[in-house]
Chain A
Amino acid sequence: MRMIKIENITKTFRNQGNPVQGLKKTSLKIKEGSFLVIVGPSGSGKTSLLNIIGGLDTPTTGQITVKDRNLKNLSDKELSNYRNNEIGFVFQEFHLEPEMTVLDNVLLPTLFSKDKKDKKEKATELIKEVGLTKKINQKTKALSGGEKQRTAIARALINNPTIIIADEPTGNLDAETGKIILNLLKKIHKNHKTTLIIATHDEKVASATKQQIKL
């Protein structure tokens, strides 16, 4: 079943008044539950494509449809709900709240969701799943890079999203930790049956799946 349908999308930015093409014309169909890696050098438009799929940005031209909903037609509230319920973001820089505990960071997306039932139990389970039970009440500023990314992965899963978007998830980690995080993402993809989309310039990460898109 085709979940994401991208048709001829482009993204153009303005840099000091001059147009800069961030993403060249791209078309793509992504099936539900698939594991896809977007590869390409810096500036090729990987992050732009992920941002458009994740509802953080809109294409300059073209259409993107997720579960038959054209993202371009959604209001701010609908788009926010989409990001909250359908998407789980994993960033290269982790983007955690340093003064908050692992548990509170994982629970952060639930602040904006309607369904708040049993979320603490769910967060505790996810933290266990990513192997951070012992650090559940520790502030994230005290965690290592790998632990921070594990926290970010648990946070991405808290609202049962259908799509996990990971932008260079191993970019800020050493090779060994990066491997562990990649395996964790693969495990999560398998256990939670989510669609996993990773953007990377790292060939080793790209080789984790056969489904690759080169930009």
Chain B
Amino acid sequence: MISIAHKNIKERKLRTTFTLLSVIIASSTLLLFMGLKDGVKNATFEELEKKSPLTQITVSPKIEDNGIISLLGKSQKNKITQEKIDKIKDIDGVKAVYPEIQFNNFASLEASVFGFSFLTDAMIFGVDEDFVKDDFVTTTDWNSLNQPYPAIIPSKLLDLYNVTIAVPQGLPSLSEDDLKGKKITLYPNYSTFFPGFNKISDSIELKVVGFSDKTNLLGATLSYQAVNQLNQKYSEIKEPQVLELFIETEDASLVKEVADQINTLNLNTQYFQKNAEDIEAKLNYLDMALSILSLIILITTAMAILTTFLATISEQKKEIGLLRALGATKLDIKKMILLQATIIGLVGSAIGLALGILIISLIEPLLLKERAQTTFTPNSLFLISTVSALKILLFGTVLTIFAAYLPAHQAAKVNPIQALKN
């Protein structure tokens, strides 16, 4: 049976090639879609996990209750109090609580790189050493109150600078190495946006000691003690205003449970699993769009295969009649046609798979090169697993068999007498 199916495939080279092409195009396109969908999802979650470890919860006052003024530390309503912090510490599963305080006034930072000087408004945050110690890239005494104060820069700030300033203005891009150990000048109570509020022109020296994905994107992070000292000297509000809390849980599985208890204190919580759900919901739209495109491709391919097989059956009628005369049952004929479809489907999807991988290896470096100019810089955009490859092989083969079923059914109904007469 296999030899007859093979012979039929070989004898009708043009039709076989046409059917193979349909399967190859469908398989390689499906592989690209599947790889892109999985790749983007994987890259997004990797990026998210970098920023927010699985055991971490970020706690903030509810913005709908407080508004932007509270965020700047001016409102006393519903803020994160020591009482609430103590309650959180008592929750089962909480390993550590790291408050993030802020400098309670305007501030600007000035840095000089590649001969250019930048002066911009920024917020100054303060955290415990334990929260950022993994991010130090230079040996430092984090709690030192001598100038220059050690400072951590958010990694994303570099990306933002490179994307929004360096590239459009043709300036050199900045790397962590360019800023490591760099001196930055902090001007407390000084704003480039609101010059009317500027009071004094004091300056404080900072030194970049690390880069972090966990710290606040809006400015530089210093030690808790340093920010306290700045508040004592330059702010009207002397007490530490806790802007956010970073909670470390004992285990990733406890995150949701702990977050639910924190929510009862009228505080807002953010954690990886919750963000992941939101992002996954958004990624589902991409999934849906690719699925619709895939469906259109599959229907078109199935129609092409069906048409080609119908034409092939028409050409093979005499042979089918002969086989029927020699003892082939209707089922044998159906099997023979479906075997042809299986061979074409398997070979076509295998070639499509190889072609898809080749296309990905050619276009992925180009796409990643483009992405290098943005803040989203994954290692890969396509993810092809063994399971995906097997799915493509199976799908290509099943699709061909499915499309060939109607022609096979028609072939089985061929009247041997009529067929042999023709």
Among A85, A104, A111, A155, residue most surrounded by chain B Cβ atoms (within 10 Å): A111
A85 touches B417 (CB 8 A): no
* Chain A contacts with B in 105-120, Cβ cutoff 8 A: 108-109, 111-113
Whether A35 sits at the interface, judged by CB under 8 Å, is no
In the complex with contacts A99-B7, A99-B11, A77-B327 CB distance below 8 A: no
Interface string of A74-113 (1 = CB under 8 A from B): 0011001101110001010101010110001000110111
When chains A and B are docked, how far (Å) is the Cα of A51 from the Cα of B417? 8
Chain A residue nearest in CB terms to B336: A111
User: Could you say which residues of chain A place their CB within 8 Å of the CB of B324?
Assistant: 56, 80, 83
Interface string of B130-169 (1 = CB under 8 A from A): 0000000000000000000000000000000000000000
B325 touches A89 (CB 8 A): yes
Whether A57 sits at the interface, judged by CB under 8 Å, is yes
B417 touches A108 (CB 8 A): no
User: Could you say which residues of chain B place their CB within 8 Å of the CB of A84?
Assistant: 326-327
A95 touches B11 (CB 8 A): no
In the complex with contacts A83-B325, A84-B326, A111-B1, A95-B331 CB distance below 8 A: no
* Chain B contacts with A in 309-361, Cβ cutoff 8 A: 318-319, 322-332
User: Could you say which residues of chain B place their CB within 8 Å of the CB of A99?
Assistant: 7, 11
Interface of B is mostly: helix
B328 touches A80 (CB 8 A): yes
A97 touches B319 (CB 8 A): yes
B327 touches A81 (CB 8 A): yes
Among B1, B11, B327, B416, residue most surrounded by chain A Cβ atoms (within 10 Å): B327
Chain B residue nearest in CB terms to A107: B3
User: Could you say which residues of chain A place their CB within 8 Å of the CB of B318?
Assistant: 95
User: Could you say which residues of chain B place their CB within 8 Å of the CB of A56?
Assistant: 324-325, 416-417
Which of A51, A80, A111, A155 is the one whose CB lies under 8 Å from B4?
A111
User: Could you say which residues of chain A place their CB within 8 Å of the CB of B330?
Assistant: 76, 80
User: Could you say which residues of chain B place their CB within 8 Å of the CB of A54?
Assistant: 325
Whether B420 sits at the interface, judged by CB under 8 Å, is yes
> What is the minimal beta-carbon distance from B376 to any residue of chain A, in angstroms?
57
* Chain A contacts with B in 53-83, Cβ cutoff 8 A: 54, 56-57, 76-77, 80-81, 83
Chain B residue nearest in CB terms to A77: B329
Q: How many residues of A contact B (CB 8 A)?
A: 26
When chains A and B are docked, how far (Å) is the Cα of A104 from the Cα of B4? 10
A80 touches B327 (CB 8 A): yes
Which of A57, A76, A93, A100 is the one whose CB lies under 8 Å from B329?
A76
Which of A57, A77, A89, A104 is the one whose CB lies under 8 Å from B326?
A89
User: Could you say which residues of chain B place their CB within 8 Å of the CB of A80?
Assistant: 324, 327-330, 332
Place the interface of chain B in its size category: 20 to 34
Chain A residue nearest in CB terms to B327: A84
User: Could you say which residues of chain B place their CB within 8 Å of the CB of A108?
Assistant: 323, 326
Query: How many residue pairs bridge A and B at CB < 8 Å?
Result: 57
> What is the minimal beta-carbon distance from B315 to any residue of chain A, in angstroms?
13
In the complex with contacts A97-B319, A99-B7, A109-B420 CB distance below 8 A: no
When chains A and B are docked, how far (Å) is the Cα of A175 from the Cα of B3? 37
Chain B residue nearest in CB terms to A84: B327
> What is the minimal beta-carbon distance from A76 to any residue of chain B, in angstroms?
5
User: Could you say which residues of chain A place their CB within 8 Å of the CB of B11?
Assistant: 99
User: Could you say which residues of chain A place their CB within 8 Å of the CB of B416?
Assistant: 56
> What is the minimal beta-carbon distance from B286 to any residue of chain A, in angstroms?
50
Chain B residue nearest in CB terms to A48: B417
User: Could you say which residues of chain B place their CB within 8 Å of the CB of A83?
Assistant: 324-327
* Chain A contacts with B in 10-25, Cβ cutoff 8 A: none
B327 touches A113 (CB 8 A): yes
* Chain A contacts with B in 136-151, Cβ cutoff 8 A: none
B7 touches A100 (CB 8 A): yes
In the complex with contacts A56-B416, A111-B4, A95-B329 CB distance below 8 A: no
User: Could you say which residues of chain B place their CB within 8 Å of the CB of A155?
Assistant: 326
When chains A and B are docked, how far (Å) is the Cα of A210 from the Cα of B11? 46
User: Could you say which residues of chain A place their CB within 8 Å of the CB of B326?
Assistant: 83-84, 89, 108-109, 112, 155
User: Could you say which residues of chain A place their CB within 8 Å of the CB of B1?
Assistant: 111
A112 touches B327 (CB 8 A): yes
> What is the minimal beta-carbon distance from B123 to any residue of chain A, in angstroms?
81
User: Could you say which residues of chain A place their CB within 8 Å of the CB of B327?
Assistant: 80-81, 83-85, 109, 112-113, 159
When chains A and B are docked, how far (Å) is the Cα of A54 from the Cα of B7? 27
Chain B residue nearest in CB terms to A104: B3
Chain B residue nearest in CB terms to A96: B322
User: Could you say which residues of chain A place their CB within 8 Å of the CB of B332?
Assistant: 80, 111-112
When chains A and B are docked, how far (Å) is the Cα of A112 from the Cα of B319? 15
User: Could you say which residues of chain B place their CB within 8 Å of the CB of A76?
Assistant: 329-330
> What is the minimal beta-carbon distance from B13 to any residue of chain A, in angstroms?
12
User: Could you say which residues of chain A place their CB within 8 Å of the CB of B319?
Assistant: 97
When chains A and B are docked, how far (Å) is the Cα of A81 from the Cα of B324? 10
User: Could you say which residues of chain B place their CB within 8 Å of the CB of A100?
Assistant: 7
Closest 9 CB pairs of A and B: A84-B327, A112-B327, A80-B329, A109-B326, A83-B327, A95-B322, A112-B328, A77-B329, A80-B327
Could you show 5 A-B contacts with beta carbons less than 8 Å apart? A77-B331, A80-B328, A91-B420, A108-B326, A111-B328
Taking A51-B417, A112-B327, A112-B328 as given, write out 13 further A-B residue pairs in contact, using a Cβ cutoff of 8 Å, ordered by the A residue number: A56-B324, A80-B324, A80-B329, A80-B330, A80-B332, A83-B326, A84-B326, A84-B327, A89-B326, A99-B11, A108-B323, A111-B328, A111-B332
Give the B-binding residues of A (Cβ under 8 A): 51, 54, 56-57, 76-77, 80-81, 83-85, 89, 91, 93, 95, 97, 99-100, 104, 108-109, 111-113, 155, 159
